[in-house]
Amino acid sequence: MTPPDQPVRTNNSRRIAPEWFLIGVVVVWSLSFSLMKRWHDAAEDWAGDDFLLQSQASFALMTVRMGLASICLALFNPKVALVADKKAWIAGTCVGLCMWSGLALQLLGLALTTPAMSAFFTSLASFFAPLILLVLGIRQSKWLWAGLAFALLGGVVMVEGGWKFGPGEGLTVLSAIFFGSQVVILDRMGGGLVASRLTLAFFTVNTVFSALSLIILVVWRGNGVEFVAWLAGMLAQPGVLFDLLLLLIFPTLIGFGWMNRYQPLVGAGRAGLIYLLEPVFATAFSVAYQHEALTWHLLFGGLLVLGGNWMGELGRGAGESKN
């Protein structure tokens, strides 16, 4: 489920281009929108409109998800946990903190919006990443910028007719800033490191900060007994457990494992453009889970996103910077 224990930039004999693995990352990440939405729906009877309880439910999911991922990775590859690797842990901590901040805001926002809207505003991270690179003095090709604009337009079309901007959408935009920063940090710090060790640090940081946030909220609210009873009831539901298992295996272990290994091989600008495919797959899963209906603007918007990625491919031949 996780990448072999070798440096992320070792790619001498690889037959499959790293871009394809990032597309796989996008596919499994896209599933998480519907799986996390189902968790919020299952918690709705308990939390209602109480934002503090919704936050407890969100951080509980993050703690369980990332905690299980840390345990699975350590058991699957024990030497990852036993070998000290300061650089990998520093990089994993920095990437993990940005990802945790983004995931927390995204998950809180998802309780107040639809999976498709969440996917679109999350995709703004792909625009923020090259902007951050530009501030750092690293330019991208005009083709890549054109591809980003085309793909973002596709995202706009995909949610046409369902537009709104409320607290949920605002939280998701903030999450996109952190996700964009994470893309750049991984690109700058992830090269030449053992990906599985970086990923273990990434999971551990997310687990610790999620658990601490959960504890603070429970103590603040003073509902420890009630919360534990609710969480036990949630984890006793077969449907919730099945969704959690899917969330653990695909978006978490495979998705983040491949992200940490293959994104540094691609470059932040190109990776950001690939990540813009996420709303396409997220909407497909949302339709499959019957969160929304299939309409012409979803199809047309998806084609625009694919067209933006095609422009990015043209840019690679035109001398796009690969950071």
Pick from 120-124, 151-155, 296-300: least confident:
296-300
305 belongs to a structural domain: yes
In a domain, 190, yes or no: yes
- The span from the CA of 286 to the CA of 33, in Å, is 8
Domain interval for residue 115: 18-317
In a domain, 10, yes or no: no
In-domain check, residue 1: no
The arithmetic mean of pLDDT across residues 279-297, rounded, is 71
Whether 4 is in a domain gets the answer: no
Q: At residue 10, what are phi and psi to the nearest 5 degrees?
A: -80, 110
The model's pTM: 0.80
Residue 4's pLDDT band, with cuts at 50, 70 and 90, is very low
Kindly state the average pLDDT of the residues 35-58.
82
Residue 118 inside a domain? The answer is yes
d(CA 54, CA 211): 15
What is the biggest distance separating any 2 CA atoms in the chain, rounded to whole angstroms?
Answer: 61
CA 184 – CA 106 distance, rounded (Å): 19
Give per-residue pLDDT as tens, 174-211: 998 999 999 999 999 998 888 999 999 999 999 999 99
Q: How many domains does the chain have?
A: 1
Backbone angles phi, psi at 7, to 5 degrees: -60, 145
Q: What is the structure's pLDDT at 251?
A: 93
Does residue 7 sit in helix, strand or coil?
A: strand
